[in-house]
Amino acid sequence: MCGFLGLAGGKSPEDLLTCYYNGMLRLQTRGEESAGGSWSDGCRVDGTKGMGLVPVVFHRDKISEILAASPKMLIGHTRYSTAGGSTVKNAQPHWLHDRKGRFAIALNGDVPDLAALRLKAEKECGNVYASENDAEFILKQIDWFIDHEKPDWHEDFIHGIRRMMQTTRATYSGGLITGSLLYIFRDPWENRPLFVGRRGSLFVAASETTAFSIMHAEVERQVRGGEILVVQPNGEYRSIEGVPLKKRQWCVFEWIYFSRPDSVLPTGETCADFRRRLGYKAAACERSSGAQCCADCVMSVPDSGNFFTDGYAHGMGLERFTGMVRDNYVGRTFIDPGLDTRREKSDRKYTVLPAIQTVNGGKKITNAVWCDDSIVRLTTMEVLVGKIRKAGYEHIHLRISSPPIVSPCHFGIDMKTKDQLIAANLSVEQIRQRLGVDSLMYLPLEKLDEVIREGGIDPEDCCRSCFGASCAI
């Protein structure tokens, strides 16, 4: 799961670059390992990438260098590694330079069976790869189709992208930039999110709508599955059907965890509102089961658990308090590539406040519900439960806004094997015992489907395969 941004047009290169930098910051939560970008002045493509956050890679001198090139189009990428290690060579964009000039690609998504497909392409096409990243594979697929099928020059990249779509089973949303044009495209299942809009002459494409608001741009729509947008340097564009839309499979884990709360979902509601509705549903499910706990209050694991906590507390009729503080200078633990560093970051990231003593007439509260978005590997939750216990809470109840994650994801989330997934190997009761908590409840898959349906979406249009549902991709 990565962040993609594509821009063209705007009032001036200064305006374009300001929007670009601000938009990249808004997409930082989608990937914190590396960042990069490519830009064109209408003739020539240049680029940069490096390890670290956006301000590290796009520092003051680099911004001045880009501005001196008078950019008219740019693409940007913030990376969370799923294919290939966390190294500079796997950072995006990837670029090529041949008779067509220099061109670059940046994508969010994944190619299942990448190793086997690369080996086949090496033997049959003579492709040579400098990275282990799926975006480079897709770039060289596009390039091979252009060079070997020799379409009309003015349709060359359209042809290459279309042929890649026809032959490569993958999820992707992003863009390819050449000296004269920007191509925006999305996989035929719409698995990876991608929105387009504008502000005057400024064209914007981004993984999340939060990038639009910081530019004061209006979101027009989603990019359709299999669609290719051909964008001019002045921001004007035309739409082409690369391949027909297949069975829609929006990633629901985006809505539960990845997307920023202020981003708008295909349902038309904000991610925050969707997560609140998950909380209401979890409370209603618990009340109807007759198994509700007798806790004194509800607390959140910040930040992605905050809005689920709001809905759950209100639905249960319990007071909601802040019992945990997040260090905003420690990144997201789920998207960290290493187990040891995830555990270390979890320890540094969260501070649990001492059990509350200033409410209910001074009564000390030691019995609380703690809400979080998901449990994947159990790494973070084991650290948190230890901290909660040490802070003086004698009774700990966990409520999770998603169903148990029991199946690997091969489409853009770093959950590749079942041995990484605690719920694929232990029952809910076994997980509860391992954590040493009083109770543990997940939102059942059928209740998640109800929340999706109540938002006006058919659950079958969403990929929920990590929760054990079937997938059409």
Residues comprising the chain, all counted: 473
Maximum distance among all alpha carbons in the chain? Answer: 79
Residue 114 phi/psi, 5-degree rounding, is -60, -45
Q: Which of 2, 271, 409, 463 is catalytic?
A: 2
Is 130 exposed, middle or buried (CB count within 10 Å of its CB: 0-12, 13-18, 19+)? exposed
Q: Enumerate the β-bridge partners of residue 105.
A: 94, 176
Q: How many CA atoms lie within 13 A of 241 on its CB side?
A: 4
CA-wise closest residue to 164 among 205, 107, 215, 221 = 107
Residue 2 known to be catalytic: yes
CA 346 to centroid of chain Cα atoms: 20
Give the number of other CB atoms < 10 A from CB of residue 380. Answer: 22
Distance from C-alpha of 229 to C-alpha of 29, rounded to nearest angstrom: 26
Torsion sign, CA atoms 118, 122, 124, 125: positive
Catalytic residues: 2
